[in-house]
Each structure stands twice: as structure tokens, then as C-alpha cells.
Structure 1
Amino acid sequence: MPTTPPESQAVSTAVTRSAIFLVATLADGDDHAATVRAWCADVAAVVRAVGHRVPDGNLSCVCGFGSQAWDRLFGAPRPAALHPFREFGAGERMAPATPGDLLLHIRAESMDLCFELATQLLGKLGNAVRVVDEVHGFRNFDMRAMIGFVDGTENPSGREAVDFTVIGEEDAGFAGGSYVIVQKYLHDMAGWNALPVERQELIIGRKKLSDIELDASVKPSNSHSSLTTLDDDGQEVKILRNNMMFGRPGAGEFGTYFIAYARSPAPIEQMLENMFVGRPPGNYDRLLDFSRAVTGGLFFVPSADLLEALADRSGPTAGGARPTA
């Protein structure tokens, strides 16, 4: 007898004009863990309450949990592919792992909606968490990234977006969920802007003005688009990016908040390895000569149904013994 699949969180929501990204760590103590568990049942209602005030504001929030946080809060069973963020590269060209137990990805057409929702959700958490990274992002005109190229051109859409981002029968207990990887990049805009446009296009693998992909005969194998294109038996494997610009011109800070959703972290990790290590090793993404990753985290996004149900978990022994890995 067919069953209705679990409802996903707002993973595949269209790109909005504004976003707030919050990464927090859990405070010590069983009472703080209980506060976070209870909060899980309130998230959807708070989003509805704030969003109802501006119906056309497209307000949404995606909530994810890191590997250690999942073990501490919910125990077994746990999502099959959830693990700590894997670092790639070395030295000046590295994708570092940074602390993060809870991720909130808040989106809306205006920053006031994002700000109000962030305030309400964090207010309910109180001192049970400590925010370790907060970024207020905005969508640039023409859908262009900080470096001037159109961002997210190859994003899947519609049914394809669901297929590439939502877990199915491969991990049936967590169907309707997703994985998300976030990184904060800072750019050397003076160095980047000093490059001729033709050189920038070879680094990215696309024309800057038209966004048309360069012909294979001229596109370098270490271009950004080459290294982030994955093939599985002739079929392209896609991820869903929802990147946003951020910065403080007065402080000389110009950045991109990279956020990517997938039904497994493996394709995103493969793209990062290709970029930071190279394919083959040494043939790395030259965009990293001008862009530096300063944060990195991997989170599991439960389905909307599971997020609410997690409030009833009793801690690490729920559903079985606490995992050791």
C-alpha cells in the first residue's frame, strides 16, 4: 500500500533577495540539550507566525544538525551519511572544519523578515546554544556572485531538484531529509579585479557577460566549472547551491557564503576535493588563488515531519545505544 513520503524542509525554495546563516554550538548540560529538543517542535510554528505577517515575503527556514550534536541530542538511529566535515587541501589552500552543531538557513525577500525570524528562534533557544558564526547575505543584481560571474547556473530545478537533494529509500528511516555543507569564503577582490576578463573567464570556465560555458576545446581542466562537474556513468550529478554575497566595504571584507544541498554529502565533498586538492592532484581550482575558505561544516537536515518528532526523543539512548563513531 503506497505511503505519503515525509515532507521535506524548505530545501529547494527559490533563491530570495536576503538570507541569514547562523551556525551555533550546544552548551554543556542535559537541560540545554532538552531545550534544543523541545525547540524542534516549535520551529515550523514560529516560521508560520512570522511569515504570515508578510504573505508574499517567501520566508523559510532550514534547520540542520552536525554529527556530534546529533549523537548528543538524539542518539541512535542516526542518518547513514552524517559525519564531521572533512577537511581538504593544506597550507594557504585549505577547506577547514570549524565548530558547528546547529545550522539555521533563513531566507526571505527582505532582511527584516529574516531578522525577525532569527530573533524569535534564537530567543526560544536562549543560552542553550552559542552562535559562533552569523552572516547576513544578499542576492546581487543579475544573480551574479561577488566575483562578477552568474552564480548557480547549473542548479537543478523542479522535480530534478528534489531528486538530487532529498533522501529516499537508500536511508528509509531518514527519507525526506537532506545534507548540507556550508563554507564562508573571503575574496581578494583587488587581485581578482586586476586580472583581464579573459583570464577570469578561463579560471571560471564561462563567459563573464553572457554566462555561456566556454567551449571544451578552450576551457582548462582546472577551471572552476570543470572541477565542479561530476559524472556518474554518463549522467551529471548535481547539487543545489543557494550561495549569497556578504561583506563590509569599509573593512575591505568581500565574501561569498557557500551553501549546497544534496541527498548525500559525497558529491559536494568530491567537488571540494577536486577544487582544493586537484583533479589530478595539483591541478587545483585557480579561483582559490583569490578566494579563501575560513569556515566549514556538514549538517543533516531532517524532514519537516522528523524535525517536529525529534522533540520527543529522550537523548542519546533513544532508539538504541549511543554510537561510538
Structure 2
Amino acid sequence: MSFNPAKVQDVWKDAGKEVQFTVLALKRQDQAKELAAVREFIDRFQAITRSLRIRAQKSNLKVAVGFSNAAWDYLFPNAPKPKELATYEGIKGDKYEMPATPGDIFLHVRANDEATVYEFMRQVMLFIGDVTTVVDETHGFRYFEGRAIIGFIDGTENPDVDEAKDYAVVGSEDPLFENGSYAFAQKWRHEMDIWHTLSTETQEKAVGRKKFDDLELPDGEKFKNAHNVVSQVEFNGVSQNIVRMNVPYSDPATGITGTYFIGYARHWQVTKAMLESMIKGHDYLLSFSKILSGQLFFIPSKDTLDQIVNGDLTK
């Protein structure tokens, strides 16, 4: 096998206008029944996606579905496993922490309209709802031209689509799971009242970029714990990248506002190193934020999805 974009789920940088993240837990009451439901769900979600792309041609529907390490062990105990799939157990530093939360099945759905997102989720839950419980359901949105909820343009360090495969998609290093991706999902809640008390100059030093035009600040003008400083990592002197999306969510009347972070990576170790660097470096964004959830999921290739449907994964 070799890289084939037609075999990759929607892990590219395309946050969409209306977004839903859903984490489900298997009930673990009847493994055979739940495996059968998962197989039908995987088969149906691909058909539902194709159908909705015809029914709502301007919706730009994109979907990624994945499984945690715990789900993989439960559903496919005799199957080979992606080399870097592990259970995220949280990261704790001397000042901040990024906790781990449970979850078996992850769905990242985005489209240009909420109706398409709703219809996709309504249909797929017909097949998976009876054997799962909802751990978290977060509805996000595109903020103006694609800014994070704190007002800065998002994703400027993401590689171009032509290069993204090198950072987001598993390659020949794991041939059984080539064209898959490691997705790390993490939910943040921000104290926006605190953030809004800061001057624009302070906010820029905290992020490491200009707020209006996104120009990167000189190193000497950034805080030492600026987000774009502590979130960067190098392996053997080479800067590492993932495809990352920071999706705003909010219930403004109740004052609940935050960011749902999703990072797609060829190597989980890269994402993990970024998270550890943020904790160790006391990322400024953590000073007014609380991390509510976090877990690693593997996004199988379409070939692997077919193996799951056909019962061939364990052979």
C-alpha cells in the first residue's frame, strides 16, 4: 500500500462552519452485540455521508470516526493494533494539568450548515445509540474568518494540504494501518472575563502573534511562555507539525465559552510532546483556562473500515 488521499478520512485542515464533536462509550454489556452494531454503524456512516453529499451538495460535509485504545481492545481483542495507539492517561505538571477522560468512539462532523450536521448525527445514532452512552457532545462554530474564540487567526502553523499527509497520515512505518491518523481530542473552557481584561499588547505577547494581521512577533517581544513558543517541539533538531483545529463553542447567556481542540497526527508521539511542552512551559493560555477532557483516538483508513465491516480485521 501507499498514500492514497481517497483512502483517508477527513483529517485535513477544514474546520467547517458548523461543527459537532461526539464522544461515545460502549455499554460493555454484550460484546458480540456491540461489535455487530459497530460494524453496521461503520458501514452505514459511509453510506450516509455519500447520500448527504448528494442531498446537500453545498454543505461540504466532512466526517472522521475513530476508536480509542480501550475500544480497540474490547471490540477487536485478537486484531493487530496501530503501533502508537495507547490510552491517554493525562499530563500533570507543577502548575497545570491536562486530564484524561474516558471514551470509545469519536466523531468529528463539520459542514456549512447545522441541518446537515444534525441529519448525519440523527441517522448514525439509529445504528449505534442502543449500545453506547454519550460521554460528551460539543457543538462548535466558525468564528468570523476562522479565528479562535480568543480573537486570533487559527491554524496558521498548519502545513498545506499537499504537505499535510506527511504530518497527519500514517505511512509505510505502519503498513497495516497506512492512511490512518491519530486524533487527539481535548476540550478547554476559558474564563473570558479574565482574557478580556488584558490589553491587546499583552494578548499578543501571550499568543506570540499580532491579533489583527497574524504577523508573528519577534522572539524578544513574546512572553517566554507564549503559546506559539511552548507548543512547538523538535525531534533531532527538526520542527514537528500536526494538523490542528481550535473550534470555538459557547453558551453566551450562561458564560460558558471554550475551545475544542482536535489534532490529527501521523505520530501520536508528536502531539504528546506538544502537550507535555505546554504543561512544562506553563503555556499562558492555561492561566485563564481549564482542561475538561482529553483522549486519543485512531482514525482508520477507509480500507481498515471495510475490514471492520467485513469482519476481516481479526484475521
**TM range, normalised to the smaller chain?**
over 0.9
Q: 1:243-292: per-residue Cα shift (whole Å, max 9, x none)?
A: 211110111101110001001111111111111122xxxxx112101111
Partner of 1:165: 168
Q: Deviations over 1:78-122 (max 9, x none)?
A: 111000113112587211101100000001111110111011111
Return the offset for 1:141.
0.4
Task: Return the offset for 1:313.
Answer: 2.6
Larger CA deviation: 88-97 vs 180-189: 88-97
Equivalence for 1:87? 90
Residue in 2 aligned with 1:174? 177
TM-superposition CA deviations, 1:142-180 (whole Å, max 9, x none): 311111111111111222111111101110000000000
One of 231, 234, 251 as aligned partner of 2:234 = 231
- 1:62 aligned counterpart, secondary structure: strand
Deviation at 1:242, TM superposition (A): 2.1
1:139-150 alignment runs, 5 A limit: 139-150=142-153
Aligned amino acid, residue 273 of structure 2: Q
Spell out the pairing of 1:132-143 with structure 2 (5 A cutoff).
132-143=135-146
Q: Pick which of 215-224 and 201-210 moved more.
A: 215-224
1:17 to 2:17 alignment? yes
Q: What are the ranges of 5 or more consecutive residues in structure 1 without an aligned counterpart?
A: 279-283, 320-325
Q: Specify which of 286, 298, 301 is matched with residue 299 of structure 2.
A: 301
Q: Output the CA distance in 2 between the equivalents of 1:223 and 1:244.
A: 20
Match of 2:101 among 95, 98, 103: 98
Per the alignment, residue 281 of structure 1 pairs with none
- Taking only aligned residues, the RMSD between alpha carbons, in angstroms, comes to 1.8
Give 2:308's aligned amino acid: L
Q: Which residue of 1 aligns with 2:212?
A: 209
Aligned-pair CA distance for 1:218: 2.0
User: How far apart are the structure 2 equivalents of 1:300 and 1:3?
Assistant: 18
Farther-moved stretch of structure 1 (251-260 vs 35-44): 35-44
How far apart, in 2, do the equivalents of 1:129 and 1:254 lie? 27
**Equivalent residues of 1:37, 1:73 under 8 A apart:** no
State the alpha-carbon separation in 2 of the partners of residues 214 and 175 from structure 1: 38
Supply the AA of the counterpart residue of 1:165.
A
Which stretches in structure 2 are left out of the alignment for 5+ residues?
none
Verify: 1:130 aligned to 2:133, yes or no.
Answer: yes
Q: 1:285 and 1:9 mapped to 2: Cα distance? A: 31
* Preserved CA contact (<8 Å) 1:51 1:113: no
Q: Which residue of 259, 267, 287 maps to 1:256?
A: 259
> Which residue pairs with 2:271 in the alignment?
268
Per-residue deviation at 1:202?
1.2
Match in the other structure for 2:283: 285
Q: Are the counterparts in 2 of residues 149 and 211 from structure 1 also a CA contact under 8 Å?
A: yes
Percent of counterpart pairs with the same letter?
38
Length-normalised TM-score, structure 2: 0.94
Alignment of 1:29-44 (within 5 A): 29-30=30-31, 31-44=33-46
Q: CA deviation at 1:200?
A: 1.1
CA distance in 2, matches of 1:156, 1:291: 27
Q: Given that residues 26 and 33 in structure 1 are in contact (C-alpha distance below 8 angstroms), is that contact kept between their aligned partners in structure 2? A: no
Aligned to 1:187: 190
Please tell me whether residue 58 in structure 1 is matched to residue 53 in structure 2: no
Please give the secondary structure, in 1, of the residue aligned with 2:274: helix
Give the equivalent residue in structure 2 for 1:7. Answer: 7
Give the deviation of 1:231 after TM superposition. 2.4
